[in-house]
Structure 1
Amino acid sequence: MALITTYWGLDGIIVLTTLIITIYFYMTRKFNYWKKRNVFEIPPTPFLGNFSDCLLLKKSAGYLLKDIYDKAKGLPYIGFYVLDKPFLLIRDREIIKNILVKDFNYFVDRYGSPDPNDRLGYANLFFIKNPAWKMLRTKLTPVFTSGKLKQMFELMLECTKNLDTYLESLKAEGTRKEIDVKDLFAKFSTDIIGCTAYGLNVNSLINPNAEFRKYGKMIFDFGYIRGFEMLSMFFFPNIVRLAGFKAFAKESSIFLRKAFWETMTERMQSGIKRNDLIDVLIELKKTHSHHKFEGFKFDGDDLVAQAAVFFTGGYETSATTIAFTLYEMAVQPEIQDKLRKEILDALNKNDNKITYDMVLTLPYLDMVVSETLRMYPTLTFLDRVTTETYKIPNSDLVLEKGTPIYISMLGTHFDPEYFPNPHKYDPERFNEENKRNRPSCVYFPFGEGPHQCIGIRLGLLQTKLGIINVLSKYEVTPSERTLIPMVINPKATTTSPLNGCLCLNIQRINTNAS
């Protein structure tokens, strides 16, 4: 005789049905959370919430959040659900300003988080929680002063020589050669970061098997498993802890530890100072090695984490921006010609030399890069979490401590209220008059407020340097494999072309006739 009925099979059906109903009610118990607070919400699907396309890696999170932003037109915010958890997407720019700037102390931490035991992923400046974040930010900021950048620039110019050598090896005079510009400039940016931050000659452009490029590529190789791991870190950190997901692949972690400590040891033994990131981390180790600050240890993986995040963030952001800029130049040759003329005129006035001041005083180049970052920001959203109960100004809505808050960068960047005809690539959006007339907190490709990317100036500098070096000597045009229109990889957390490559034709031009 069975436990409930006279048949084991029927008992099994009853138990399974009861279990499914229990799980259903558990996973839907919060599905009126926003409605109870008089906040418009998107009707969620049981078990998945509003996140099914992202979980199946059919759509990137940034583009899903943009869809939610578009559905909330006319509303200051909108509620949605990730699995069973209520999230809030902010649409009103004044509230965005409050969150990112005015009331930053309530939103100082990101919601996304690696496993705290994964120190390479968790303890770096991007993810670490306050007050350790504030301490680290203060200690690392001096690496990126204008004076330091001028010193770095000479080293960056050495890297451009390797870029020139590689491009010349293509023998693209009088004929077009197809190249993957995304991969090429990932190598270029890897060399620059290695040189300026760590004092290493990485030589990715010369050596196709360079270790820094090999292991750096692994970090952003968005297959299904890697794509889900990265998605989880930004949207379900509890699953990350349970599953033991790592921010860096095992092989990359081993390599980064080895490269970092070898460099640190060599620098400490030689006594050489370069005033770079390594020197700052050495000083932190010497001064605080026997102390912990809010769980942060000034040694081991906690220090390696800073080197790792500057390496990965530094090369990927610039490489992506250069690649998408050249793509837009290829499909819009009139913009390419106008930019090239500005570059060549500046070079002619400067004895054909690229200098720090020259790079920073090319207005049309700045407009072009700004428009690329509008349409193709590397990270397409900002995430925060309330650290205390917070009442939204001029509203009855009170946010409980621990509420995930998201801001759609793509949403504001493609909002026709701020950027008319937003799908058109138009650098004139960023001329001086248009910038003056545009409200604040609607364009923030590097974030905004105290959490703004610490390396923004270095990133823009190496991006502009890469573009100058190509367009001053070469013309870029679409190849047979160029995706027109561009298709974004739905598995990638960051903005990346489908399949991770962006192919263009390149051909040497006669600069004397330009």
Structure 2
Amino acid sequence: MALITPHWSLDGILIFVSLIMLAYLYMTRNFKYWAKLGIMEVPPTPFLGNFTECIMLKKAGFEFVKDLYEISKGLPYMGFYIFDKPFFLARDPTLVKHILVKDFEVFSDRHVSSNVTDRLGYANVFQMKNPGWKILRSKLTPIFTTGKLKKMFDLMLLVADDLSEYLESLNLKTVKEIEIKEICARFTTDMIGSTAFGLKANALQDPKSPFREAGKRIISVNFPRNLEFLTIFFMPHLTKYTGAKFFGDESSRFLRSVFWEVINKRMETKEKRNDLIDLLIELKQKHEHEGDLGGFCFSGDDLVAQAAIFFTAGFETSSSVMSFTFYEIALQLDIQRTLRKEIHEALEKSDGKITYEMIMTLPYLDMVVAETLRKYPSLGFLDRICNTDYKVPNSDLVLKKNTPVYISNMGLHYDPQYFPDPEKYDPLRFTEENKQKRPNCVYLPFGEGPHNCIGLRLGLMQSKLGIVQIIKDYEVSPCEKTVIPLVLDPRGLTTIAKGGIYLNIRKITPATS
């Protein structure tokens, strides 16, 4: 005799069906949460919510959030679901400004988070929660003063010379097809290694150098890394079960080993370079004895986490800006020629020397880079979480504490209301006159408010120097392998071209420039 029916097999079927029904009821219990509040929502799928295509690796996270932005056209906000959890998407620029700037104290933490045991991922300035984040941010800000950046620029020029030597070695007097993103990434790997850590990464000369290999592993678009990033950025509560690591296991071990070696050697020799390592040593010596500071301490992996995040962000975002810029100006040679003319005229005034002031004040270069960041922001969405219940301005809606809040900067950047004909690459969108015409908080390549990108000036300086160093002497143009229009990789967390960016490159002569 079975428990429920005369047959064990039938009992098993009934128990299995009951468990499925219970799981279904549990995973759909929050559905219609937004609809009941009178807010638009996309009908969710049981168990996965609106996140099915991302889990199946058919759609990148930034594309998912951008699609939600476009679906809710004309509305100030909407709701969506990841698994069974309600998420909030802010669309209206005024509301975006409240979230990022005016009401920052309510939204001072990002939703993204590694597991607390993954200290390199959890304790860096990008992911750290308050009150630790506020302390950490204030202590790291001095590395990015104008005086420090100018000193870094002198080191950058040496790496720029290495780039010129490398390109010369390719014998580009005749046109040659290259994958431009890889060259840019090797250049920025050498750049950030030298300026921030006093290391010779040697990526330009050796494409399999340890630092370049570590960088590739960190931003890899393979299946395991994609799931790790999706978990950390959209489902951080699951990281304690999945073991997802922001930098990955192998790269975490490499970065921990290398940076501690650099820190210990610098402390032993007392060498000073006015770089990030010097600042980290200073913070360690001043604050290590204080122990826990709101979930963070200036020692161990918490300290090395800052070096790890600056290395990763430093090479990847800058190389993306460079390579996407080369792609766009290869398709529009008139823009490329205008940019080269501005660079050559500036070099004539400086006796052929590239200077910090020149790089940071070339108006057309600035517009070109700004337009690249509009079309290809390195991270296509921003995320925050409510620290307390929050009444949305000019509405009766109250967001409950711990509600994840997302903003699609990619959606805003492609909204024709703010950027007409958004698919067109047009640097003139960023003349001073045109910038004044746009509302605040519709252009967010580096975020906005107190939680904006701490290294944005360094990143722009690296990108602009790399662009100048190549475009002053070389012309880029489409080749047979150039994909037009560009396709972004649906497996990437950051904005990555699927299959790379292939272009023709050749050295120009005064007659052809």
Structure 1 length as normaliser, TM-score? 0.98
Give the counterpart letter for 1:314 in structure 2. G
Which residue in the other structure is 1:98 paired with? 98
Q: 1:295 Cα shift?
A: 2.2
Counterpart CA distance in 1 for 2:207 and 2:414 is 38
The answer to whether structure 1 residue 55 and structure 2 residue 55 are counterparts is: yes
**After the TM superposition, which residues 473-512 of structure 1 pair with which residues of structure 2 at under 5 Å, given as runs?**
473-499=473-499, 501-511=500-510
Tell whether the 8 Å contact from 1:473 to 1:511 is kept in structure 2 after alignment: no
Give the counterpart letter for 2:185 in structure 1. A
SS at match of 2:105: helix
SS at match of 2:41: coil
SS at match of 2:89: strand
**After the TM superposition, which residues 34-433 of structure 1 pair with which residues of structure 2 at under 5 Å, given as runs?**
34-173=34-173, 175-290=174-289, 291-433=291-433
Counterpart CA distance in 2 for 1:225 and 1:479 is 33
The answer to whether structure 1 residue 27 and structure 2 residue 27 are counterparts is: yes
Q: 1:513 Cα shift?
A: 5.1
Give the counterpart letter for 2:416 in structure 1. P
SS at match of 1:440: coil
Q: 1:13 Cα shift?
A: 1.4
Tell whether the 8 Å contact from 1:472 to 1:511 is kept in structure 2 after alignment: no
Q: 1:511 Cα shift?
A: 2.9
Deviations 1:179-202 (A, max 9, x none): 111111111111111111111121
Counterpart CA distance in 2 for 1:39 and 1:89 is 11
Q: 1:258 Cα shift?
A: 1.3
Give the counterpart letter for 2:20 in structure 1. I
Counterpart CA distance in 1 for 2:332 and 2:2 is 74
Counterpart CA distance in 1 for 2:193 and 2:157 is 13
Tell whether the 8 Å contact from 1:318 to 1:459 is kept in structure 2 after alignment: yes
Deviations 1:70-119 (A, max 9, x none): 11111110000001100000011111000000000000001111101100
Flag as ranges the 4+ runs of structure 1 deviating above 2 A.
511-514
Q: 1:512 Cα shift?
A: 5.4
Counterpart CA distance in 1 for 2:132 and 2:337 is 48
Q: 1:152 Cα shift?
A: 0.6
Which residue in the other structure is 2:13 paired with? 13
Deviations 1:296-335 (A, max 9, x none): 1211110110000000011100000100000001111111
Counterpart CA distance in 2 for 1:27 and 1:40 is 20
Deviations 1:402-444 (A, max 9, x none): 0000000111000000000111111110011101111110001
**Structure 2 unaligned regions, length at least 5:** none
Deviations 1:267-292 (A, max 9, x none): 11111112211111111111122221
Counterpart CA distance in 1 for 2:443 and 2:234 is 23
> Percent identity over the alignment?
57
Give the counterpart letter for 1:110 in structure 2. R
Tell whether the 8 Å contact from 2:131 to 2:295 is kept in structure 1 after alignment: no
RMSD (CA atoms): 1.0
Give the counterpart letter for 1:148 in structure 2. K
Tell whether the 8 Å contact from 2:186 to 2:207 is kept in structure 1 after alignment: no
Structure 2 length as normaliser, TM-score? 0.98
Q: More deviation in 345-354 or 91-100?
A: 345-354
Q: 1:208 Cα shift?
A: 2.5
Which residue in the other structure is 1:452 paired with? 452
Matched pairs, number: 512
Counterpart CA distance in 2 for 1:280 and 1:346 is 34
Counterpart CA distance in 2 for 1:513 and 1:248 is 45
Counterpart CA distance in 2 for 1:38 and 1:323 is 44
**Structure 1 unaligned regions, length at least 5:** none
